[in-house]
Amino acid sequence: MTERVLILIEDSPTGACRKFAQAARRFDLRPVMLSNNPTRMSYIAADEVDAIQVDTGDIGAIIDACEQLTLTYDIVGSTTVSEVFCPMAAMVCRHFGLPGPDPEAIKRCQDKFVQRQLLTKSGIPTPAYRLARDAVAAIKAAAEVGLPVIVKPVTGRGSSGVKLCRDLNEVAEHTDFLLAGKHGLPPLPNVLVEEFARGSFYTVSTIGSEVAAISAADFSELPYFTMRQFTFPAHLTSDENDRVVAVALQSLQALGLGWGPVNTEIRITSRGPVVIEVNPRIVGAPEPELIRLAHGIDLYAEALKPFLDLQPDLRKTRSHAAAARWLMVEQNGLLQEISGEREARAIPGITDVELKVEAGTPLVWHGSFQDVIGHVFAASPSPGRTDAALRQALDLIKLSVVPFPKRKDKEQLANVE
């Protein structure tokens, strides 16, 4: 029998594709990573995952690499955890006649303005929004929507470039900042100006038309929108749960996303559930791990089942409460010392503590997912015990950061050296 292969295309900064590779092996699939730089993923060698270096920005090159694999293997599917490469993974499935999501639906969904248009056309509540091509248009849009507004890239991920602007000067400044490509992405032709929807934030994880989980998240301090703390399951009333689920499933239908994993971000506002964003991929870390800790559901494994003509099993095998907190860069400077990590791990209910930096690392604040430098996970049979364990662990972990010297100080140091 010909060995079956699952194609993985690139990875996210959290390395979550490793979970897909591990899940693939449990189905006797051989994971093969396609990447323009496989060596940057440490687990490729550690887990003995096959990797092919290819220009992953070129669908033709990806297809050619897969065609070569078909000389030896049967490809059963293609997936990714990276927002950028979701269309590529879907196009591989379509090229080989495999089950998978609609590539065109994914592309439409990734344009936040087009996504909003499709949702609005279907009567699904979203924040009020406008498209702006320059600062003048953004100011006009903000006046129409009503201050404060959120100004953000039309495409992108991880809250990069997303900012709450409280006055028209801030709107103009941030629009110019985004259009010039100063947020770490290429220059943009336009930006999205949208209403600041106030309310508790939830993420609905689905596979096909089945709801796997609803988690809650809190953010770092405004004016930026980096998710910081996560709770699963979300604390919702029965009515809130039903309304959030209904809006999420309606969004999938409106966007043509009825196949595979999707995560829908929703705020419950004074006018009810409002869709903030729909992402055509498996929900990002740490939520899959929280879902596993709390309900025993392996979201990565269940997300692969549709490739194998198997029905995902989203029934929970336990009823625990899980929570996570990102450890984040708080200020620019040199990380001098880390303490309390070992003591935090020893607390009952703490399931994982990880720091991805060490003493001597320079830290630079970005106001986006790039600020994440570690995490703490907790789980127990009750929300109260989970929250207490998480708080206790966070109180123990201390990062000592020395501010970078001023330019004159740097020059003086250089002269001394």
Token code pair at residue 392: 């206790």
- Cβ atoms within 10 A of the Cβ of 414, count? 8
Which residues are within 8 A (CB) of 10 and not within 5 positions of it... i.e. 6 or more apart?
17, 34, 35, 36, 56, 80, 82, 84, 85
CA 105 remoteness from chain centre: 19
Angle between helices 112-121 and 238-255 (to 10 degrees): 110
Report the distance separating Cα 371 and Cα 219, nearest Å: 13
Locate all alpha helices (DSSP H) within 201-274, ordered by sequence. 238-255
Going by C-alpha positions, the residue among 124, 89, 82, 111 that lies closest to residue 189 is: 111
- The residue with tokens 């006009």 is 140
213 pairs with which residues across the strands?
A: 205
Query: CA angle, corner 324, sides to 317 and 283, nearest 5?
Result: 70
Helices (H), 211-330: 238-255, 287-295, 299-304
Provide the sign of the torsion angle of the four alpha carbons 253, 256, 262, 263, taken in this order.
negative
Q: Which amino acid is at 286?
A: P
**CA–CA separation, 378 and 33 (whole Å):** 31
Q: Could you confirm whether 281 is annotated as catalytic?
A: yes
> How far is C-alpha 316 from the geometric centre of its chain's CA atoms?
23
* CA-angle at 40, arms to 70 and 44, nearest 5°: 50
Which helix (H) or strand (E) element contains residue 104? helix 103-110
User: Mapping DSSP to helix (H, G, I), strand (E, B) and coil, where does residue 369 land?
Assistant: helix
Distance CA(256)–CA(108), nearest Å, equals 9
> 154-167 burial string, b = 16+ CB within 10 Å, else e?
bbbbbbbbbbbbee
Adjacency order of strands within the sheet including 149-153: 129-132, 191-195, 149-153, 163-165
Q: Token pair 């730089």 is at which residue?
A: 37
Catalytic pick from 281, 325, 342, 391?
A: 281
Structure tokens at 36: 């323009």
Which residues are catalytically annotated? 281
